[in-house]
Amino acid sequence: MPSMNDAALLTPGDYADAVATAVRAAAAYYTDGATPLGDDEYDALLRAVAAYEEAHPGEVLPDSPTGKVAGGAVGGDVPHSVPMLSLDNVFSAEELADWAAGLERRLGRPVAAWCVEPKLDGLAVAARYRAGRLERLITRGDGLAGEDISHAADAVLGLPAALAEPVDVELRGEVLLTREQFEHANEVRTAHGAVPFANPRNGAAGTLRAKDRPYRIELTFFGYGAVGLDEGLTHSALLERLAALGANTAATTAARPARCATLEEARQRIDEIAALRAELPFGIDGVVVKADAAADRQEAGSGSRAPRWAVARKLAAEHKVTRLLDVEWNVGRTGIIAPRAVLEPVVIDGVTVTYATLHNPADITRRGLMLGDRVFVYRAGDVIPRVEAPLVEERTGEERPIVFPEACPRCGDAIDTGEQRWRCARGRNCQAVASVIYAAGRDQLDIEGLGGTRAVQLVESGLVADVADLFSLTREQLLGLERMGDTSTDNLLAAIETARTQPLNRVFCALGVRGTGRTMSRRIAAHFGSMAAIRAADAETLALVDGIGPEKARVVVAELAELAPLLDRLAARGVGTAVSAPQAPAVPGPAGGGPAEERAAEEGAAEEGAAEEGAAQAGPLAGEAVVVTGSMTGVLAALSRNEMNELIERAGGKASSSVSKRTTLLVAGEKAGSKRAKAEELGIRIVTPDDFAVLVADHLPEG
């Protein structure tokens, strides 16, 4: 296919090839959701074709996708009562302003108001109701006729079988797989021996058309229009009417539609929705701007392909197609052997992506990946890119199987393949340097001066094999190392001594137990109150901790058993022996772990600390679920996000990273963004950093 970077470069032969490619891509995209092109590539291709046709109007091919609904996709055998049109696209604020000015010139007056809503990345459908009951569900097809998919209607959430009123109406909207539904769909498919869906749109299209499957996959409907309701309604009021009838709309999400009095307000809402993109539970590929007033829409009318009163402001694609060049096998700090895809560089949402996660060997097998495959790559916001699925129909026969390692890529030892995530038989001992660096990190033991270079030096010199060895280092040993003078040695020893007294949650986090992190370490420490109680707990007891559950609890118990010698040595050096009052009594499981003296000392200290439990529960944040977002100011500016979470829990609250219906308080700093918008939508109490500092003043760290 010729380059589409400059439409003027198209020759007549290039133009014919571009038309053929666009027609094939549109047919695939609008029927089964599969396409050899990413969104950006397809858009660029259409623009190049349109530019050539504008310059050579006498050479337009009859099968050109320009001016056709859904790019000329194949229709169906059920005629639409009113054509289901596509939308024209704009790709910048300047193009949006030009489009709006053109609409106002056509009207001969300013547009009364705009309605701005997310452009959902799914399949357009029409749902016909008679006397309020769903009779038929139809795809858009070629805009004039679509395919009957009524057999799939009962699996579409948000599309009621009966409306709240017995009206004759045709609801129009988008059916899609949310991110959660997409992940679940692929789990179900692979469990039944089927190939995973390449992307959510492909999954939605395939699911709507499938019949007689031995499994069920749920989808979600979002309404955006209707035929048969009061034609005098503004578009904003129409959306409210759809919701009142019982249909799901985007008003239930953070990207809810908004009525904007001016185009500048509309541009601001576009930016807000674009900023929310990574946090939305579904994919969007743009934001739709519509004339809100019925009179404006009626007077503007529609062309053969699209209405003149609405346009899609397209966003940079989150999905791209590129080639899988290689797979690297990296060993993590706990010995996990993780595959990483090496990709032909591709720009996704403004970021050049050359690597992507592949999760584990079982995931590679499920997805049926091969070296040389053309693959879909996905990236949302700051999320690590991942390979979704190969384009099997694009294979040439030159693709090669991915070779799995037979020995640990780092140390050459055996590999434990007993779980989906493979692990070096030596476990975390395979990556002593990485384990030490992690344990010394700011949010763990916070040992200043122990960075990567120093950790490598300590491990390679034989002085340190694990984190416990740090607490046995002597001044003489450190002075014997290169580039270690009196000052740097004394500073490092002082930092290590300070780390010896770190609270239980930080010591536990420093262990790097699989399935836990900073938040979970705080919950475990708060629940049990001592390392002895944590080690004594069985899987059933650990599963009582909020957010762990039975499966993760078994992993934690196994990890702690493996770490028993390290924990004994840490306890002997006075690390991790501090005790705090547990939030709930820890029910001991089988006895074990650690010296008897340590357990006795900690149990005694726990009795002493029990008196503090009531005070913790009665703190200023008791019963509060708190989320922190944006940049902190004032006395909170010096605290890391982990330290903020620790502050919340010292004050009796529960820290969380995401806003939900369970959230009761949001601390909103500068540039709070989408979390503040969602909190406002849910009616959650919002405070400034300064107000929050006053609220928890008695629990702020000293200094």
pLDDT the model gives residue 655? 84
Domain span including residue 535: 504-617
Give the number of domains in the chain: 6
Q: Which residue has the higher pLDDT, 166 or 617?
A: 166
Q: Is residue 651 part of a domain?
A: yes
Q: Is the pLDDT of residue 299 over 90?
A: yes
Would you give the DSSP letter of residue 219? E
Instruction: Give the chain's largest Cα–Cα span.
Output: 93
pLDDT average, residue stretch 682-699: 88
- CA distance linking residue 227 with residue 235, whole number of Å: 12
Taking phi first (over 0 means left), then psi (-120 to 50 degrees means alpha), and beta for anything else, what does residue 353 get? beta
pLDDT the model gives residue 137? 96
CB 375 within 8 A of CB 387: yes
CB atoms within 10 A of CB 8: 8
Please report, for the domain that includes residue 94, its CATH number: 3.30.470.30
Which of residues 314, 336, 367 is at a domain's end?
314
Of the residues 68, 119, 211, 290, only one is catalytic, namely 119
99-103, 466-470, 670-674: range with highest mean pLDDT: 99-103
Mean pLDDT rounded to a whole number for the chain: 83
Q: Are residues 147 and 253 in the same domain?
A: yes
- pLDDT tens readout for residues 376-433: 887 754 456 888 778 887 899 999 999 999 998 888 889 999 888 898 888 777 778 8
pTM: 0.56
Q: Are residues 461 and 597 in the same domain?
A: no
Q: Is residue 612 part of a domain?
A: yes
Q: Are residues 235 and 287 in the same domain?
A: yes
Which of residues 283, 314, 345 is at a domain's end?
314
pLDDT average, residue stretch 456-480: 91
* Burial label, 332 (beta-carbon count in 10 A; 0-12, 13-18, 19+): buried
Q: CA–CA distance from 34 to each of 218, 314, 394, 396 (Å)?
A: 19, 20, 11, 17
Please report, for the domain that includes residue 42, its CATH number: 1.10.287.610
- Examine the residue annotation and report whether 119 is marked as an active-site residue of this protein: yes
- CA distance linking residue 372 with residue 322, whole number of Å: 10
Q: Are residues 558 and 630 in the same domain?
A: no
Q: Is residue 419 part of a domain?
A: no
**Lowest-pLDDT range, 93-102, 137-146, 258-267?**
137-146
- CA distance linking residue 383 with residue 380, whole number of Å: 5
- pLDDT tens readout for residues 537-587: 999 999 988 878 888 888 899 889 988 999 999 999 989 876 665 554 433
pLDDT band with cut points at 50, 70 and 90 for residue 593? very low
